[in-house]
A and B are shown apart, each in its own frame.
Chain A
Amino acid sequence: EAIPQTRRADGPITHWQCSQRRNRQIRYKDLHVFQLEHPTKVIEWTGDKNICVAGYTGSRSEILELLLPLKLYAGENQGLCAERDFKVQHGGFSEEPIESLIHISGTRCVVTSGSSSSTLQIWDIGGDDSDVIKRTGVINLKSTSVKGCKIAPGLTDEPAVLHGSCISEVQLTEIATGRVLYTVAKESSDSVSGLQFVNACVFLICASDGTLFMGDTRDPSTCHYPLEDSKSGLHWAFGLRSDSSQSEPSGCTVARLSSSGHMLLSDLRNLQSPFCQTQLNVQHDASKNDFLNVSWAPVLDRCLSVSGFDGTVHIYNTINWSTEGQSPQPVFSHRGHEMSDEAKYSGSPPVVTTHSWHQSRPKTILSVATDGSLHVWDWVDKITDR
C-alpha cells in the first residue's frame, strides 16, 4: 500500500546511512544538515564557535555571523542539549555579491571583496548591543575584477589586508588609515588565485597558472617559482599548512591543486621542486574553477581536504603519498551535498563552494554548496578510529 506523503522516511540521507549501518560501518560521528536562505562561497571563522558566511548570488547580499550549534560543544551532556540549530548573531547587507571574506584576528573587523565594485569593504561585526553588521570604510582598488579581488589578513599587530587580483597589483594596505604598506614589484599581469601570510612578514601568492610567489614585506623583491611543466587551461588553488600563525618557512608545506586534480606538495624552503606530485581521481570541469579548494587539517598530521570538483569533499592522508604511486584513495568522502532533496529535484547537482576545518576539533568540517546547503560533520577514519 503506497504511503501518500511528500516527505518520505526513507529519504536519501537516511537510506544511505542505513545502508552503511548494515555494512557495520559507522561513517559519521556526527552530521548536521542545514539550509541557508542564500548560498555562500565563504566560510570564515570569527571566533571559536562563530563563522561568517555571505551571499554571492543576488545583487544585494547578506553577510551573516553564525553561532555553531551548542550541541556540538556539550560534550558528555550532548543528549540533554536541545540546541542543535545555528543562531544568526549578526547580519548586514552588502550592495554586491561577495567573493571573499576575511576576518582580522583579535578584532571584530571583517573585510570583503565583491564582484562588482572597485573597493574592498570594511565591516564591524558588532558586539552584544546590536545585531547589525555595519560598514565602516572602504579600500580603493586600482580596478574591478569579476572574480573579486583576492584578500588575506595581515599578521601584524596593526590590522592590514593583503590584496590583489593580478600579481602586479598586490599590495598590503593598513585598514585604519588606508596607507599602502607594501607593494609587490613584479610586472606580471597573471591573475591571483590566492594569497596568504606565513608569518608577520613572509607571504605567499599563488597565481592561477600555478606559479608561486614568495615575498617578505621587509624586502622589495619577490621570488617566483613557476611550475616545471605548466599546462595551459588549468586553474590552480593553494593551501598552506603551518605550525602556527607566526611560523618560519621551515615548518610550512604548500599544497597546489589544479582543476584537473593534479596535486603538488612543496616545502617552503624549497619551492622550486615539489617533494611530492600526484594525480587525484577527480573530474575536471573548467566551469567550476571558482570553487577549487585545498585545505590542510589544523590538528591532524599531514591530512588535507579537497573540494570544488563536484558535490563531495575528499579527505586524504598525505603521509604515504609518493610521486610514483597510483592515484591516492581518500580516507573519507563526504557526499552529503549530492544526496540532498534539493539536489534530487534540481537540474544540476550542487557543487561544494568551500569547506573549512574546525580550529580545534580534529575531525569536524563545515562545508557549503551552490544549493545553499550547509553541513557540519565529524567523520570517522575507518582505519584509525575503531
Chain B
Amino acid sequence: MESQKSAAAGFWVAASFGAGQDVGRSCILVSIGGKNIMLDCGMHMGYNDDRRFPDFSYITQNGRLTEFLDCVIISHFHLDHCGALPYMSEMVGYDGPIYMTHPTKAICPILLEDFRKITVDKKGETNFFTSQMIKDCMKKVVPLNLHQTVQVDEELEIKAYYAGHVLGAAMVQIKVGSESVVYTGDYNMTPDRHLGAAWIDKCRPDLLISESTYATTIRDSKRCRERDFLKKVHETVERGGKVLIPVFALGRAQELCILLETFWERMNLKAPIYFSTGLTEKANHYYKLFITWTNQKIRKTFVQRNMFEFKHIKAFDRSYADNPGPMVVFATPGMLHAGQSLLIFKKWAGNEKNMVIMPGYCVQGTVGHKILNGQKKLEMEGRATLDVKLQVEYMSFSAHADAKGIMQLIRMAEPRNMLLVHGEAKKMEFLKDKIEQEFSISCYMPANGETTSIVTNPSVPVDISLNLLKREMALGGPLPDAKRPRTMHGTLIMKDNSLRLVSPEQALKELGLSEHQLRFTCRVQLHDPHSDNDTLGRIYTHLKSVLKTYSIQHVPDGTVIVESIVIKVTSSAEEPNLKVILLSWSYQDEELGSFLSTLLKKGLPS
C-alpha cells in the first residue's frame, strides 16, 4: 500500500477489508490514478473485541493514516458504515478530509454518541472512542451536495448521487483523470413513501462497487409488510393492549405514522396514537434539512406534511403511559437502550396484552437486542428483574437492492467492470454469471481482505500542433483512421496536466534550447592500389550493389553520399596504397552509418 502512492496509470487496486455477511461492516480501499480513498469506515456489530474495527494495518504498519489517504467518504449514517470513523480518525490518526452528505453529517454524531454510551456505560468497555473524539472527528467533515462535483485536490474529484435506503444515503463517483469508480454504499431501487429510489446517470465508470447482501433475496412487497404491521397493531388495540414503537427521529417513523393515520381513518378507530415530543423537535429539524438536501425529483415523492397535521396522532405526555385502555406510542430511542422508550417499555412489559414493535436492528447490549433474541427476563438497574410478557415483534422496513435492483443499477450507470461486496463468493456465482452474460463485463467478488486489480483502458488525450499535423499530411499515405494506429514522430511535452505533441524544432524553441547536431566520424583503413578517385569509384559501385534501396550519389568533388552520410577517401604521400576512408554521418543515420563502416572494414571486392 505504502509504495502504491505513486502514479499507476492504466490500472488500480481495490482492497476490501471488512465486508462480512448479514451484519457486516463496510470499509473499502480504492487506489486509483495514484490516489488512495477509503470508502466507509464501519463497525462490525457482531464482535465485542478488536475484530469489530477494520484492520488498518493493511494501509500502514506504523500509525497515522493521513499521508496514505487522500480522502475518506462515508455513504450514510448506519453504524456498519460509519461506526469506526472516530476510532480511525482520532485513535489511529487521520487529519485529512472526510466527505459525507449534510444529513449524514447531522445524524452520524448522534448515533455514534448513542453507540458510545451503550458500549462504554452499559457494557463497561475501555478501548473505545470518547465523546470528544466524536466531536473532533466531525470537525474534519466536508459536507457534500447531490450532483455537485467536489475537487478534493487537483486531480481527484468526487460527486454524490441519491441512494434511497435511508435519509442522507449517497452513492459516490470518484474520478481521477479519465478513470472513475462508483461506490454505492447501501441503496435501493424501489421508492419508499419518504425516500425515492437510487438514481445515477450513464456515467460509465471503470468500476461499479455494489453491496450484494440482499442480492440473492426476493423481497416481499412493501404493502405486505405494511399490512402485517397494521394487522399487529390493530389486533393489539382491539384486545385493549398498548403498542410501543421505538423509533429514531425521522424517516421510518413518519412513514409509519402516515400508515396508521390512514388506517385509523378508514377503520374508524378510536384508540389514541401518540408521538413523543422529543421526537417532534428533532423531526422538524431533520425535516428541514432533508428538504433542502433533496432535489425536485425526491421532493415530489416526499409527503410534505408537518408532524402535527395528523388528525389522530397527538403529542405524548409521559403521564399518559399510565392511562388505562389501548394506545399506540412512538418514542425514542430506537433500540430501547435509554430514555422515553425504555421508560414506557418498563411500564408495559409485564402485560401480555401489550406489544412492542422493533422497526430495525439493535446493537448488542441494548434491551432491544435482548428481547429480539427471545429473552423473557431482563436485569435492570439495582438488580431488579423485569418480566417480558408483552408480545415482541420485529418488523424491518429498511430497503436494500435485490438482484433485480443490482441489474437495474448496472443498466443505469453502464460500468465497464463490476465488483460485489458483502456476499459469500460461493453463493454469488449465479449472479456473477448473470451480470457477465447480460452486460459482457467482468464481475469480481473479493473475499474479506482480498485485493482486486482492475485493468482499465484509459484514453490519454494529447493535443497535436498544427505544424506537426501539416507535416504528417504532407508525407502522404492513407488518410487518418480512428481505428488504425499510425506511427508518427514528434516530441511529447507534459506540462500542467496537459499533453502536447509538437515537432522537435518547436519543442526546442518553446523550451528555449538550441538545437545541437550530432555527427559521427569514423576512419576505416583500406589497402587499395588505385588512385584515391578510383578507390572512391569502387566504393561507390560496391555500395550501390549492396544498398539497393538507398539513394547513393557520387559527387564530382570527390565524395560519395549515402543519404546524409559523407564518404571521402584520402591517402598519404608516403603510403599511397594505404587508403583512409573517412565516413561522417549525423545522429539520425547512426544505424546506417555503423552498417557502412562495418561493411567497408571488410574490404572491397576485387
Interface residues of A, Cβ cutoff 8 Å to B: 3-7, 9-11, 13-15, 17-18, 21-22, 31-37, 62, 66, 69, 77, 79-82, 84-93, 128-133, 374
| Interface pairs (21), CB distance under 8 Å | A3-B303, A4-B301, A4-B303, A9-B193, A9-B258, A9-B262, A13-B224, A14-B263, A18-B263, A18-B267, A21-B234, A22-B267, A33-B220, A34-B220, A79-B232, A80-B392, A82-B396, A88-B217, A128-B426, A131-B428, A374-B218
Q: What are the interface flags for B195-226 relative to A under an 8 Å C-beta threshold, 1 for contact and 0 otherwise? A: 00000000000000000001011111111111
A84: chain B residues within 8 A (beta carbon): 220, 224-225
Contact pick for B218, options A7, A22, A36, A62, CB 8 Å: A36
Q: Is B387's beta carbon under 8 Å from chain A?
A: no
Docked-complex contact A14 and B191, CB < 8 angstroms: no
By secondary structure, the B interface counts as: helix
List the 6 shortest-distance A-B pairs measured between CB atoms, nearest first.
A91-B430, A86-B218, A33-B221, A9-B262, A79-B393, A85-B217
* Contacting residues, chain A, for B259 (C-beta < 8 A): 9
State in angstroms the CA–CA spacing of A129 and B428 once bound together.
Answer: 11
The answer to whether A88 and B391 touch across the interface, beta carbons within 8 angstroms, is: no
Are B430 and A35 within 8 A (Cβ)? no
The answer to whether B217 touches A87 (Cβ under 8 A) is yes
In the bound assembly, the distance between CA atoms of A180 and B114 in angstroms comes to 70
Q: Give CA–CA (A32, B221) in the complex, Å.
A: 7
Instruction: Using CB atoms, name the residue of chain A closest to B356.
Output: A79
| Contact between B394 and A86, CB atoms less than 8 A apart | no
Interface size in chain B (residues, C-beta < 8 A)? 51
Given the interface pairs A13-B227, A129-B426, the reply to whether A79 lies near B394 with Cβ below 8 Å is yes
Contacts of A93 in B (CB 8 A): 433-434, 437
Closest to B217 in A: A85
Residue B230 at the chain A interface, CB threshold 8 Å: yes
- Identity of the chain A residue whose Cβ is nearest the Cβ of B228 in the assembled complex: A84
Whether B301 and A6, one on each chain, are in contact in the complex, defined by CB atoms closer than 8 angstroms, is: yes
- With A80-B372, A80-B392 given, is the CB distance from A91 to B227 under 8 Å? no
Given A10-B262, A22-B267, A131-B430, are A79 and B234 also a contact pair (CB < 8 Å)?
A: no
How many A-B pairs with Cβ below 8 Å?
123
| Distance from B305 Cβ to chain A, minimum over Cβ atoms (Å) | 8
User: Residue B156 at the A interface, CB < 8 A?
Assistant: no
- A132 with B429, Cβ < 8 A, contacts A22-B267, A33-B224 known: yes
Residue pair B300, A66 in contact (C-beta under 8 Å) = no
> Which chain B residue shows the least CB distance to A11?
B223
Q: In whole angstroms, what is the CA distance A7 to B196 when docked?
A: 11
**A11–B222 CA distance with the chains assembled, in angstroms:** 11
Within 8 A of A (CB), among B428-442: 428-431, 433-434, 437
Given contacts A34-B221, A35-B221, A85-B220, contact A4 B374 (CB under 8 A): no
Known: A5-B193, A80-B374, A93-B433. A131 touches B221 (CB 8 A): no
Interface residues of B in 375-415 (CB under 8 A from A): 391-396, 403-404, 407
Interface string of B19-58 (1 = CB under 8 A from A): 0000000000000000000000000000000000000000
Which applies to chain A's interface (DSSP): helix, strand, loop or mixed? Answer: mixed
Cβ of B427 < 8 Å from any Cβ of A? yes
Asked if residues A32 and B394 are in contact (CB atoms below 8 Å), the reply is no
Q: Report if B497 contacts A (CB, 8 A).
A: no
Q: Determine whether B266 belongs to the interface, using a CB cutoff of 8 Å to chain A.
A: yes
A330 CB to nearest B CB, Å:
23
Output the nearest chain B residue to A80 by Cβ-Cβ distance.
Answer: B394
CA distance A274 to B216 in the complex (A): 47
CB closest chain-A residue, reference B223: A13
B498 within 8 Å of A by Cβ?
Answer: no
Residues on B with beta carbons closer than 8 Å to the beta carbon of A6: 191, 300-301
Q: Which A residues are CB-close (under 8 A) to B374?
A: 77, 80
Tell me the smallest distance from the CB of A319 to a CB of chain B, in Å.
31
Query: B219 CB to closest chain A CB, in angstroms?
Result: 5
Chain B's closest residue to A128 (CB) is B426
Which of B303, B393, B396, B430 touches A90 (beta carbons < 8 Å)?
B430
Pair A87/B216 contact, Cβ less than 8 Å:
yes
Alpha-carbon distance between A163 and B488 when the two chains are bound, in angstroms: 68
Cβ-based interface call for B304 (8 A): yes
Question: Chain B residues with Cβ under 8 A from A66's Cβ?
Answer: 218
A28 to B258, CA, bound (A): 24
* 16 extra A-B contacts, CB within 8 A, seeds A69-B220, A91-B434: A6-B300, A9-B258, A13-B224, A15-B266, A18-B266, A34-B221, A66-B218, A79-B392, A84-B220, A84-B224, A87-B217, A91-B430, A130-B429, A131-B426, A131-B427, A131-B430
B residues in contact with A374, CB < 8 Å: 218
- Shortest distance from the beta carbon of B488 to any chain A beta carbon, whole Å: 46
Q: Are B301 and A88 in contact (CB under 8 A)?
A: no
**Distance, CA A81 to CA B234, complexed state (A):** 20
Given the known A-B contacts A88-B216, A88-B403, are A132 and B430 also in contact in the complex, defined by CB atoms under 8 Å? yes
Residues in B with CB closer than 8 Å to A85 are: 214, 217-220
Q: Which of B223, B267, B300, B426 contacts A21 (CB 8 A)?
A: B267
A170 to chain B, nearest CB (A): 34
Min distance, Cβ A377 to any Cβ of chain B, angstroms:
10
- Closest B residue, CB atoms, query A79: B393
A92 touches B223 (CB 8 A): no
Q: What's the minimum C-beta distance from A258 to chain B, rounded to whole angstroms? A: 34
Which residues from chain A contact B393 at a C-beta distance below 8 Å? Answer: 79-80
Given A9-B226, A18-B267, A77-B374, do A86 and B437 touch, yes or no (CB 8 Å)? no
In chain B, what residue has the closest Cβ to A63?
B430
- Distance in Å: Cβ of A40 to nearest Cβ of chain B: 12
- Complex: A66 Cα to B430 Cα, angstroms: 13
Residues from chain B with a CB closer than 8 A to the CB of A17 are: 227
Residues in A neighbouring B226, C-beta threshold 8 A:
9, 14
Instruction: State the Cβ distance, A150 to closest chain B Cβ, in Å.
Output: 28
What B residues does A37 contact at CB under 8 A?
403-404, 407
- Looking across the interface, which residue of chain B has its beta carbon closest to that of A341? B223
How far, in Å, is A260 (CB) from chain B's closest CB?
34
Q: How far is the CA of A17 from the CA of B267 in the complex (A)?
A: 11
* Cβ contact within 8 Å between A88 and B430: yes
Cα A133 to Cα B304 in complex, Å, equals 48
**B214, B258, B262 — most chain A CB neighbours (10 Å):** B262
Contact between A14 and B227, CB atoms less than 8 A apart = yes
Asked if A9 and B263 sit within 8 Å, CB to CB, the answer is yes
Inter-chain CA distance A32–B394, complex, in Å, is 16
Q: Which residues of B contact A9 (CB under 8 A)?
A: 193, 226, 258-259, 262-263
Residues from chain B with Cβ under 8 Å of A7 in the complex: 191-193, 222
Residues of B within 8 A of A33 (CB): 220-221, 223-224
Interface positions of B from 222 to 249, Cβ below 8 Å from A: 222-227, 230, 232, 234
CA distance A93 to B437 in the complex (A): 10
User: Would you list which residues of chain B between 247 and 283 have a CB under 8 Å from chain A?
Assistant: 258-259, 262-263, 266-267
**Contact, CB under 8 Å: B224 / A31:** yes
| Chain A neighbourhood of B214, CB < 8 A | 85
Nearest B-chain residue to A26, judged by Cβ: B231
Give the CA-CA distance A9 to B232 in the complex, in Å.
16
Contact A86 to B217, CB < 8 A, known contacts A93-B437, A131-B428, A131-B430:
yes
Question: Closest chain B residue to A13 by CB distance?
Answer: B223
Q: Contacts of A18 on B, CB cut-off 8 Å? A: 263, 266-267
The answer to whether residues A5 and B301 also contact, given A35-B218, A132-B430 and a CB cut-off of 8 A, is yes
Complex-state Cα separation, A342 to B428, whole angstroms: 29
CA distance A249 to B216 in the complex (A): 43
User: For residue A92, which residues in chain B have a CB less than 8 angstroms away from its CB?
Assistant: 430
CA distance A6 to B297 in the complex (A): 12
Shortest distance between the CB of A242 and any CB in chain B (Å): 32
With most chain B CB atoms within 10 A of its CB, the pick from A6, A9, A22 is A9
> Which residues of chain A are near B232, meaning CB under 8 Å?
79
Q: Is the CB of B300 within 8 A of A4?
A: yes
Q: Are A14 and B230 in contact (CB under 8 A)?
A: yes
A4-B404 Cα distance, complex, nearest whole Å: 27
Closest to A66 in B: B218
- For residue A5, give the distance in angstroms from its CB to the closest CB of chain B: 6
Say how far A249's CB is from chain B's closest CB, in angstroms: 40
Instruction: Report Cα–Cα, A304/B227, bound state, in Å.
Output: 28
